[in-house]
Amino acid sequence: ELDLAQTNYLRGLVELPPETSSKVAVEKDRRRMKANQIRRAVKRHSQIAGGRRSGGRNNNG
């Protein structure tokens, strides 16, 4: 998604009225929240599975 200035420039080219607000910030917040949720899940999984496995990846080849 484009920021508000770019959106309004393109809307002006096709003679549409400019927008007054953008949803870009909302998308960024949602993306950050989702990334934090994934980080917490990975951390939790690492703590739970940490005793069963050591060394991370095992590349035999």
Instruction: Tell me the domain boundaries of the chain.
Output: 25-49
Q: Which pLDDT does position 25 carry in this prediction?
A: 67
- Residue that is written with structure tokens 């200035």 in the block: 5
Whole-angstrom distance, CA of residue 13 vs CA of residue 51: 61
Long-range contact list for 3-11, CB < 8 A, 24+ apart? none
| Distance from the first to the final alpha carbon of the chain | 43
Three-state DSSP class for residue 23: coil
Q: Which pLDDT does position 16 carry in this prediction?
A: 93
pTM attached to this predicted model: 0.41
Per-residue pLDDT of the chain (61 residues; tens, 9 = 90+): 677 888 899 999 999 999 888 776 666 777 888 888 989 998 888 888 876 655 555 555 5
- Residue that is written with structure tokens 């920021």 in the block: 3
